[in-house]
């Protein structure tokens, strides 16, 4: 199945776009830059052609939280393995030096790139965002991920690129949201949940560090063993409600609690 990677600098609306394409709130959306760190994937519910959407952490932007290098590595992997890259920019901020640096990198990328100019709420302001055409990335779409403006046009553009990559059988198949037994890995912050997931997968699939609270989203990861299919769910660490000191941690806890409810089995 084709994959579509969403990339861009922090806080341009990548996760909001990902959630809209996935048809449900999977990734945490917050005004604080740098909330997304791991690659998050889900089947698209919005496009006519079946595909997997991948959300990535923001690249560049001057965020110094200790995860910049790992987030960039994760985004690079997503771009290298994707069949289409959605490069998201923020119309309100205008063209930035970080956007230009990323565009230069993307012009050398193997997959085709679609420029998504986000946070455009009405037609009359589209002309004022003409600076983005200087990026030289070809096709572009003006959207509002938050309000859904021009979303159908974006989906048509995605379908046009990935349709030739999908066989007739795949196009008729029903995409399952989860595969096999759902196994959630839960525990307090910094207990080694992501390290356990990476050890099972034999791959550095999720970011691991000594900093508590590294994982923020619930990340679904397919895994096969002895002929059986599983979905491993890496979750954010849970602390008592009274000790949750910011809104991002509250949202992370909600995602973990939801993962526990939908899992067939939890490993504590």
User: Per residue in 75-115, pLDDT tens?
Assistant: 888 898 899 999 999 998 889 999 999 999 999 888 999 99
List helix spans (H) across 135-186: 151-162, 168-172
Least confident range from 3-12, 22-31, 52-61, 89-98: namely: 22-31
Q: Which domains does the chain have, with CATH numbers?
A: 3-170 (3.40.50.300), 180-266 (3.40.50.300)
Instruction: Indicate the pTM of the whole model.
Output: 0.67
| Number of CB atoms found within 10 A of residue 31's CB | 8
- pLDDT (tens digit per residue) in 151-181: 999 999 999 999 988 865 455 554 444 468 8
Structure tokens at 212: 């508590």
| Number of CB atoms found within 10 A of residue 23's CB | 14
Task: Report the pLDDT averaged over residues 29-36.
Answer: 51
The span from the CA of 106 to the CA of 87, in Å, is 8
pLDDT of residue 248: 62
Structure tokens at 15: 């996760």
Task: Report the pLDDT averaged over residues 187-211.
Answer: 74
The span from the CA of 241 to the CA of 238, in Å, is 9
Cβ-proximal residues to 258 (8 Å cutoff; 6+ apart), any chain? 218
Report helix, strand or coil for 40.
strand
pLDDT of residue 174: 44
- pLDDT (tens digit per residue) in 200-245: 888 776 654 444 444 557 788 888 888 888 888 888 777 777 666 6
The span from the CA of 171 to the CA of 252, in Å, is 34
């Amino acid at each position: 199945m084709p994959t579509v990677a969403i990339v861009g600098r922090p806080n341009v609306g990548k996760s909001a776009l990902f959630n809209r394409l996935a048809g449900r709130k999977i990734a945490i959306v917050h005004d604080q830059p740098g909330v997304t760190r791991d690659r998050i994937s889900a089947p698209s519910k919005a496009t006519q052609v079946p595909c997997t959407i991948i959300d990535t952490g923001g690249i560049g932007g001057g965020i110094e939280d200790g995860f910049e290098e790992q987030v960039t590595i994760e985004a690079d992997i997503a771009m290298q393995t994707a069949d289409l890259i959605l490069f998201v920019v923020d119309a309100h901020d205008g063209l930035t030096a970080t956007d230009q640096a990323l565009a230069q990198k993307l012009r050398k990328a193997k997959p085709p790139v679609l420029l998504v100019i986000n946070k455009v709420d009405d037609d009359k302001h589209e002309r004022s965002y003409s600076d983005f055409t200087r990026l030289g990335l070809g096709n572009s779409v003006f959207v509002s991920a938050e309000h859904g403006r021009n979303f159908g046009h974006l989906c048509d553009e995605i379908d046009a690129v990935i349709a030739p990559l999908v066989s007739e059988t795949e196009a008729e198949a029903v995409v399952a949201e989860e595969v096999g037994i759902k196994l959630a890995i839960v525990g307090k912050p910094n207990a080694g949940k992501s390290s356990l997931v990476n050890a099972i997968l034999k791959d550095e699939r999720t970011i691991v560090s000594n900093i508590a609270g590294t994982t923020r989203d619930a990340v679904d990861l397919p895994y096969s063993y002895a002929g059986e299919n599983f979905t491993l769910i890496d979750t954010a660490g849970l602390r008592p409600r009274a000790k949750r000191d910011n809104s991002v941690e509250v949202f992370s806890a909600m995602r973990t609690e939801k993962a526990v409810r939908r899992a067939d089995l939890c490993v504590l």
